Structure 1
């Protein structure tokens, strides 16, 4: 870090001239030298609202070259000012001065530098400054952990937290809240419980902020019972506490419980209602969600977006489009999340015309360069078969996040362009402060399968995912690799991998193995996979169809006939209802019925 900065920004007498040139064009315009008399005077000027930052920095640069140099506190204020006013080049020059002058041993100065780099999302630089600190304090640790959480790098955040836990520095409430946020995002329940135990041992469980984060973590990990228990044990509750327990209940299909909490809440706000609407719509109770939306106080864009997302999740994209039109006619603000959800629904329909109309609307609203909308447009164009349009959108975005890269990689994979998948994946690996995730690797494995690449190539990617990036394989990763192995006839190897990775009780991977056995006509492993599927899922038409075909390939017509006979015995059932006009109509299975959620929220009034 030190050598890099010295080479790029040599800070000596020339630095003052550089800063000076920002304000003067001729020698006659050089201001009179008026160095700050003390660090306290410099801090006073920096903290004044409306102060001329560049002129103040010029003055400060003069003091760097005189005997009355600023102390650590003054440098901390200077760095913070660079962060708040997004003055990256000034901040790097200050970092150079700090390295030369020996202030890097000051933990407050180094922590300010870490926060400065995190402000510009330069996590590698921030981590390097942290690593060079001789004895970081808890604030330094918290800055780095929170920086990783804000950037979505939750595993790295937890790695730093665990490093803190092993150090001699005691974690505080800020450390725990950041760690809980990462556990919640990754659904790491056991690690979250371990953090909870540590919180109790440290005696900070009474903090409202910590308790709120515990409720949120348990809710996101699907442990709503623990979330409610933490809520009930809280002595003081704020509005975030109530909203968190409503969200935890609604997220885990405890809709009646969520509505009850909302009804008990002293002064519910818009977020309170939105959390309930989001849960109700997500699980398919759209009519109830709409009824609450139209009766709640002060609905906002998020309230309407939840309904659109609910329709999209139910593959009812036409209804989502209709509700979007109503939202537009009501004059509700349409934001990037509205358009992103709507584009997801259009992508499912492959409704290119509608997609292009929405694209025009994003340009009109000035949201076409948004990374959220841009990623959704890329996904929509790819699913509509317009990969060239997706490429143009990808190239035009001024900023791309991992979702953007995954959308483009996925588009190439599903449109059969495996060469482009691998090419883009290799480009992603070179992007600073960004790493591929499980979705990225799943698309790469799909590309390997579609393009009939060697099995060893797919296995190398699979191994790299675990070894180089610390990503735990999912059933989808494993199933994709099994299909690839099946095409090459290596089903024995696939069966062994299932047990080694701990997927022996997952029906999805055994289903993939049975399909792979049908591809390479391996009866022995197919029978193992079929028995496991019946054991895990009970009688299954898929098993009987596949086994019948495999037996037929081996000429075992008796076994093939027996498998088909078993399937005939398990006839499907349709539910017929007769209405008042005596016309018969077919009804699909209904969703579980809940009491009237509207009355649970609003009462009888």
Structure 2
């Protein structure tokens, strides 16, 4: 979720709170002048905004004989939304149905917002579809709800529907759509939206300009971000932080530092973006030096350095830095531990992993999604699937990353039956759908289980036709290996061209391996030439071909292959064991 988008939403929420307050005052004054006050009076509404009177709210709303106004119902829905009264809100919806306000656009919009806040986007979408009248607030509520929950394609699809409707999008719907474009890397769609923004003059909105900067930055177009920033007549803190982030995340570190120096009043976010960029792409010791000179660094500042060490494969240094963080009395959060656990997983240091697990329990973050998934990944990569399964079962909430982590763990540990079982279980989970990563593991499990190509192809067709997932090279390689097991490498070659992967060396290497497996010398020679054409001299090709010729007693070809290896100075690395 884009930080810029969240900040824009928070500004909008603050603005809405002020509006709510003024409306509530006005509503209370109107009701106060009436002679007969009932349950829906200002006094009653003010009393039900106290959380401890939730049960009283239930009895009074159902037993009241008077019919509330639409204006009153909107305020009551807001009460339920703000105080987290889900069951009361559901009962209020029943009252709305009885009162005949189900098609009132303001009441309907408030109910859509109610379901969005409780992350019941399916309910919100159903209610949205049933509404006979919608205003731009209704559209914005659901679009932003999808964007905040990470369902970016749904957000964009709804935005496109808005564009085709009689309603006109505004700065908030455009901001949400740009956030989705940035998250999905859809720069061309983002540019189309930018053209429309310029055409209709919405670019002057600071909210929209900030979203454009963020979108271009997420899509790897830092120069475009800089152009939007320089054209802005008015800039706020979000504008500066967005352009700093766009440059820092795209390796333009000098430019990011320049913007930081020009910024009138840099805040903690400004410094953290630069530190994160330097830690990731620059010299990590420079990032450590910046941290030491930074005013009031927070946990995010330290986390950036830890992540930098982990990403460079320097897990032991990340642990030492963690120790310094602890000695400096810096508050450690879930992201601190998830980064450390990732580093520990990469070196399969189970002792350190268990120690870190104890720390997560001590700090009360072991059951969060981020840390829970990192713990499962750590135990999986250390070969301790029993602990990983127990943790997976204990996690109170699981998202797709959690499911993919446990499925991937079993796949890499050779538990193919468990991969298929978990996949079938995932398919039945409400509001979750398998993605491309899920199917990479499922198809790999099919190959490890030596399933027939026909059986594995059912999963492949399910991925493409039912879930609308475009095949990746990793999917193709598993299918090629399966065809190699059945000796049908010509069909595998045809699949490469049909899927448009003829320029991908990964799939050709898979086909070369499959050709060697089934002993098809002719296909192996064609494929070896293709790999060499795409990737240049590769010991993988020479060794495989040399071994294949030896297997078929083609000693002249073996000699020729080894002669080429000597001429091109390609050596076969000696095998080694860590045991």
Q: TM-score range by the shorter chain?
A: 0.7 to 0.9
Structure 1 residue 507 corresponds to structure 2 residue 505 = yes
Partner of 2:494: 496
Partner of 2:455: 457
Distance 1:476 1:202, change over 3 A: farther
Q: Is the 8 A contact 1:45 1:51 kept in 2?
A: no
Distance 1:257 1:73, change over 3 A: same
Structure 1 residue 192 corresponds to structure 2 residue 190 = yes
1:565, CA displacement in angstroms? 2.7
Counting only pairs closer than 5 Å after superposition, residues 25-424 of structure 1 correspond to structure 2 as 36-37=37-38, 41=42, 45=46, 52=53, 54-55=55-56, 58-63=59-64, 65-66=65-66, 69-283=67-281, 285-424=283-422
Q: Distance in 2 between matches of 1:320 and 1:310?
A: 8
Q: After superposition, what is the alpha-carbon deviation per residue over 1:545-584, rounded to whole angstroms, capped at 9, x for unaligned? A: 33333344444444443333333233379xxxxxxxxxxx
1:470, CA displacement in angstroms? 2.1
Deviates more, 1:174-183 or 1:483-492: 483-492
Q: Secondary structure at the match of 2:203?
A: coil
Partner of 1:30: none
With the length of structure 2 as denominator, give the TM-score of the two structures.
0.87
Counting only pairs closer than 5 Å after superposition, residues 446-485 of structure 1 correspond to structure 2 as 446-485=444-483
Match of 2:514 among 497, 513, 516: 516
Q: Is the 8 A contact 1:36 1:59 kept in 2?
A: no
Q: Is the 8 A contact 1:250 1:258 kept in 2?
A: yes
**Which structure 2 segments of 5+ residues have no match?**
1-34, 572-579
Q: After superposition, what is the alpha-carbon deviation per residue over 1:155-204, rounded to whole angstroms, capped at 9, x for unaligned? A: 22222222222222222111111111112112122222222223223321
1:54, CA displacement in angstroms? 4.8
Distance 1:226 1:572, change over 3 A: farther
Q: Is the 8 A contact 2:539 2:570 kept in 1?
A: no
Q: Is the 8 A contact 1:46 1:56 kept in 2?
A: no
Deviates more, 1:340-349 or 1:151-160: 151-160
Distance 1:529 1:283, change over 3 A: farther
1:490, CA displacement in angstroms? 2.6
Q: Distance in 1 between matches of 2:69 and 2:179?
A: 36
Distance 1:528 1:76, change over 3 A: farther
Q: After superposition, what is the alpha-carbon deviation per residue over 1:115-170, rounded to whole angstroms, capped at 9, x for unaligned? A: 11122211111111111112322221221121112222222222222222222222
Q: Distance in 2 between matches of 1:308 and 1:82?
A: 41
Partner of 1:538: 536
Partner of 1:591: none
Q: Is the 8 A contact 2:515 2:521 kept in 1?
A: yes
1:522, CA displacement in angstroms? 2.4
Q: Distance in 1 between matches of 2:47 and 2:520?
A: 75
Q: Distance in 1 between matches of 2:37 and 2:498?
A: 67
1:533, CA displacement in angstroms? 2.6
Q: Secondary structure at the match of 2:527?
A: helix
1:46, CA displacement in angstroms? 7.0
1:229, CA displacement in angstroms? 1.7
Q: Distance in 2 between matches of 1:46 and 1:485?
A: 70
**Which structure 1 segments of 5+ residues have no match?**
1-33, 574-605
Q: Is the 8 A contact 1:35 1:59 kept in 2?
A: no
1:56, CA displacement in angstroms? 5.1
Deviates more, 1:431-440 or 1:488-497: 488-497
Q: Distance in 2 between matches of 1:245 and 1:291?
A: 23
Q: Secondary structure at the match of 2:202?
A: coil
Quick one: higher RCO (CA 8 Å, sep 6+), 1 or 2? 1
Distance 1:344 1:540, change over 3 A: same
Q: Distance in 2 between matches of 1:426 and 1:534?
A: 40
Q: Is the 8 A contact 2:182 2:216 kept in 1?
A: yes
1:82, CA displacement in angstroms? 0.8
Q: Is the 8 A contact 2:54 2:85 kept in 1?
A: no
Q: Distance in 2 between matches of 1:43 and 1:77?
A: 12
1:321, CA displacement in angstroms? 0.9
1:358, CA displacement in angstroms? 0.9
Q: Secondary structure at the match of 1:124?
A: helix
Q: Secondary structure at the match of 2:470?
A: coil
Q: Is the 8 A contact 1:46 1:81 kept in 2?
A: no
